[in-house]
Homo-oligomer: A and B are copies of this chain.
Amino acid sequence: MEQRTVFFLSDRTGITVEILGNSLLTQFEDVRFERVTIPFIKSEEELFKAIETVNKEAEKNQRRPIVFFSLVDEKMNRAFRDNANALTLDFFQAFISPLEKELGMKSAHAAGRSHSTHHADDYFRRMEAINFSQSHDDGATTRDLSQGEIILVGVSRCGKTPTALYLAMQFGIRAANFPLTPDDFVDRKLPATIRPLQSKLFGLTIDPYRLSQIRGERRPNSLYASLDNCRKEIRDAEALMTRERIPMLDTTSKSIEEIAVTIMQQAKLKRHIY
């Protein structure tokens, strides 16, 4: 299998170039990529250390590395291109000029201003949402539950916790989650705590086989994880949600991102942060 080294170089966290780069790399399934991130490149000294690392890798592999690159400083930008033995893919460079032209103004980069400006409101909003989602995980507390914007429901391990935390982290949404348990299925009704909040409920469901796998990772050979039990719980949970007209999403073959964005769309939630 073809192997290539990929660098993510940034004067900030590198997360943007990583996300961008990885979404492109998934297009090449027959190549094994070795990934290295070098964040917070602020000085020329740090830049030249990075260039050295890249060039050593090129020599070692007899192949130039692929570099996803984001340094706003133009001088450092040029220094990299002039000295690094790499395919450099620079999204900042590629898009900032057309944007400047369209908006009829220079970017902060060109004017030498900082671009890491912090929006205190966004920060608070995000923190608050994360803390809300964290403290309202799995029905841990019912205090202030009504202040949630959405309450995810479903059987244990169907994906509620990661989805709620992602909604909070990425979009600033106060997302609680509440388990549906065999007791509720016997009663054939929603838990009393969430019944008055029905308009905020959003159901998650999952293929029983997959659920059995996930539960088995935590508690192998348990009744809890058995395929029979998972089948029964899912069947009962889906029946309950259908009866109560709760929107329902199958998480089986979806990533957390896909689940979260689908919920945003279907529940018509507005994101609070970008």
Contacts and interface: CB of A to CB of B under 8 A. Distances in A.
B130 A161 contact: yes
A65 to B, nearest CB: 10
B137 A30 contact: no
Interface in A223-274: 253, 255-258, 260-262, 265, 271, 274
A103 B162 CA distance: 35
A12 B66 contact: no
Interface in A81-114: 87, 89, 91-92, 94-96, 98-99, 102-103, 105, 107-109, 113
Contacts of A109: 27
A40 B169 CA distance: 21
Interface stretch (A14-22, A47-55, A146-154, A179-187): A14-22
For A31, A134, A214, the residue with the greatest tally of chain B CB atoms inside 10 Å of its CB is A134
A261 B27 contact: no
Interface string A11-46: 011111011101110111111000101011000000
Contacts of A66: 99, 102
Nearest to A124: B217
A126 interface: yes
A166 interface: yes
Contacts of A35: 274
A44 to B, nearest CB: 19
A227 to B, nearest CB: 18
Contacts of A209: none
Nearest to A110: B27
A161 B12 CA distance: 22
Interface of A: 2, 4, 12-16, 18-20, 22-24, 26-31, 35, 37, 39-40, 66, 70, 72, 87, 89, 91-92, 94-96, 98-99, 102-103, 105, 107-109, 113, 115-118, 123-124, 126-128, 130-131, 134, 137, 159, 161-162, 165-166, 169-170, 214, 217, 253, 255-258, 260-262, 265, 271, 274
